[in-house]
Structure 1
Amino acid sequence: MSAYIRIIYDRLDFIEFKQNILLLKQPQHKASIFVDITLEEFLKIRDFTLDVSNKISSGKKYSIEQYEKSLFDICPLIKSYPSSSTLVAKALMNVDIFNSLFIGYN
């Protein structure tokens, strides 16, 4: 795949991520904190979440605390948003992986 096409796909993923955040957030919460996330931060979050998803699907144990800590290290900005790790994971993970990570938490 050419670099130009990769950039287009990354930008489309970024737009879809922001759309999912708006659709999945709690109605009483403002998601304006996610407006300030850059494309580079999103790509790091997406790649990290994909890596966690692959680990979970291969049977490795991964805790919510591990996910949150690494997520907040990548993008400290979202730490101030209530349940940001849950919202990001729900926007980027498939349902089964999300449920296995957040079992007993959601």
Structure 2
Amino acid sequence: MSSYVRLVYDRIDFLEFKQNILFLKQPQHKASVFYELTLEDFLKIRDFTSSIEEKISIGEKYTINDYEKELFKIWAPIKSYPSSSTLVAKVLMSEDNFNSLFKYLN
């Protein structure tokens, strides 16, 4: 795939991510922190989330707290948004992998 086509796909993913954040956020919360998110930061978050999904798929134990710690290292401004890690995981992960993040908290 050419670099131009890859860039177009990345931008589409980025726009869909921001759109889904707006759809899934709590009504009382403002998602203005995501306005500051750049394409490069999004790609880092997406790649990180993809690697976590791979780990979960092979049976590694991974919790939402583990995910959150690493997510905050990648893009620190997200700390200011309530339940940001849960929201990002819900948008980027498959439902089964998302649910697996909460399996070990009980």
Taking the aligned partners of 2:14 and 2:42, their CA distance within structure 1 comes to 7
RMSD: 1.1
CA-to-partner distance for each residue in 1:18-52, whole Å, 9 max, x for gaps?
Answer: 00100000011010110100000000000000000
Q: How many residues align?
A: 105
Q: Kindly state the Cα deviation for residue 103 of structure 1 after the two structures are TM-superposed.
A: 3.2
Percent identity between the two aligned chains: 68
Provide the secondary structure at the position in 2 that maps to 1:4.
helix
Provide the secondary structure at the position in 1 that maps to 2:51.
helix
Aligned to 1:17: 17
Aligned: 1:32 with 2:32: yes
* Unpaired stretches in structure 2, ≥5 consecutive residues: none
Q: Kindly state the Cα deviation for residue 64 of structure 1 after the two structures are TM-superposed.
A: 1.7
Aligned to 2:60: 60
* Unpaired stretches in structure 1, ≥5 consecutive residues: none
Q: Kindly state the Cα deviation for residue 56 of structure 1 after the two structures are TM-superposed.
A: 0.2
Aligned to 1:86: 86
Taking the aligned partners of 2:92 and 2:79, their CA distance within structure 1 comes to 17
Instruction: Tell me, yes or no, if the aligned pair for 2:63 and 2:104 is still in contact at 8 Å.
Output: no
Instruction: Tell me, yes or no, if the aligned pair for 2:33 and 2:78 is still in contact at 8 Å.
Output: yes
Instruction: Tell me, yes or no, if the aligned pair for 2:21 and 2:87 is still in contact at 8 Å.
Output: yes
Aligned to 1:102: 102
TM (norm. structure 2) is 0.95
TM (norm. structure 1) is 0.95
